[in-house]
Amino acid sequence: MSSAATDRRVIIFALGGTIAMSASPTGGVAPALSAEQLIAAIPGLADNDIAVEVVDFRQMPGASLKITDITALADAIRQRLTEEIDGAVVTQGTDTIEETAYLLDLLHTAPQPVVVTGAMRNPTLAGADGPANLLAAIQTAVHPRSRGQGCLVVLGDEIHAARRVRKTHTTSPATFQSPNGGPLGYIVEGRPRLLNQLPRRAAVPAAPGDDIRVAIITMALGDDGTTLQAVGDHVDGIVVAGLGAGHVPAQVVPLLEALADKIPVVLASRTGGGSTLQTTYGFPGSERDLISRGLIPAGYLDPVKARILLLTLLAANCDRSAITAAFGAEGGYRDTETWPWPTDPDKDN
Ligand code: ASP
């Protein structure tokens, strides 16, 4: 723990990613820097008078993180986030932040925030964004107004809710956006300003293992269901990334109905913004048709978020009605009471 003359404390878990990369002997850049090195690279951290504890948790690219790396991280956060610590920060590869942050959000019940960050420009490049993002994440994690907000994602001086944030660009430092609702707030002059708050938190009772398989199948022009057919018997659940507001070609409907009879099939949209519909379109393969055949609408949850939620619901052995209720609540199209477990598990919320 550094800078003891302060009562603001943060614990940082480093998982690798671009923020921690340096030149690799075999070419390109690869994860190499420790959490201490990330902290040492932040100009002005000492002026903030924040005590920082670090944990080197993993050293890998975001693409190779597993579900169980994140459930182990959630356990470690639970154990290390004692009363005296104001919040946790996670540094990792940006490629999977939209999934890891949401899984952490669903598993985290303490009042202190967990703030996930990373970088788009690695430390060898001009204008590397890692130090600024990490400082902003630390400032967010120790701020009193971040308490009770669950897991947040901070990059580019924006604060996003884990359940809404998406990576929208391959290289831009402004890649992280929340198409549904916008950012919760911003970092201004070193202080987080939260302009919006989430209506509630949602925690799940069980952590998924790597053995639960949920496939994301994206629908496309002229899709004849060959991929769905090939995958259907080998997975525990499916998320359909549907066309528009949740549509599929008519020829895929019988197959989807048969699959929905055996395993949960969730209907999301491939568009990247907006909610799936429920009552508007009536043609074969429309959202009305698919819902009447047993598919579960994802609402505002995009396909990768819907997959994370379904993994956790399968881990909790939820039946179809609990899965439908959970998606109704998290997808934002039913009353909060439908969330199957206590929504505000900590009195601090
Ligand atoms: N491009 C990624 C990043 O920004 C690489 C990764 O996810 O590890 O960190």
CA of 138 to the centre of ligand 1 (A): 20
Is 332:275 a contact under the CB 8 Å cutoff? yes
In the prediction, which pLDDT does 349 show?
Answer: 36
Q: Please tell me whether the overall predicted TM-score, pTM, comes out greater than 0.75 for this model.
A: yes
CA of 123 to the centre of ligand 1 (A): 12
Strand partners, 91: 14, 117
* Residue to mutate (ligand 1; options 22, 94, 99; most atoms within 8 A of CB): 94
The model's pLDDT over 138-195, given as tens digits with 9 standing for 90+, comes to 999 999 999 999 999 999 999 999 999 999 999 999 999 999 999 999 999 999 999 9
Select from 227, 276, 277, 269 the least CA-distant residue to 252.
Answer: 227
Q: How confident is the model at residue 347 (pLDDT cuts 50, 70, 90)?
A: very low
**Catalytic pick from 6, 18, 124, 170?**
18
CA of 63 to the centre of ligand 1 (A): 7
Phi-psi map region of 17: left, alpha, beta (phi>0 left; psi -120 to 50 alpha): left
* Gap between the Cα atoms of 189 and 212, Å rounded: 44
CA of 208 to the centre of ligand 1 (A): 24
* Gap between the Cα atoms of 266 and 264, Å rounded: 6
pLDDT above 60: residue 348 = no
Q: How confident is the model at residue 344 (pLDDT cuts 50, 70, 90)?
A: low
CB atoms within 10 A of CB 84: 8
| Residue of higher predicted confidence among 201 and 343 | 201
* Gap between the Cα atoms of 252 and 264, Å rounded: 16
* 18 catalytic per annotation: yes
Phi, psi of 176 (to 5 degrees): -85, 120
* Residue to mutate (ligand 1; options 21, 58, 95; most atoms within 8 A of CB): 95
The model's pLDDT over 118-127, given as tens digits with 9 standing for 90+, comes to 999 999 999 9
Kindly state if the Cβ of 180 falls inside 6 Å of ligand 1: no
- Helical H segments across the chain, by residue range: 35-40, 67-80, 97-107, 130-141, 226-232, 253-262, 287-292, 303-315, 320-330
In the prediction, which pLDDT does 198 show?
Answer: 86
* pLDDT > 70 in the chain, percent: 95
The model's pLDDT over 198-240, given as tens digits with 9 standing for 90+, comes to 888 899 999 999 999 999 999 999 999 999 999 999 999 999 9
The model's pLDDT over 95-114, given as tens digits with 9 standing for 90+, comes to 999 999 999 999 999 999 99
Strands (E), 195-248: 214-218, 237-242
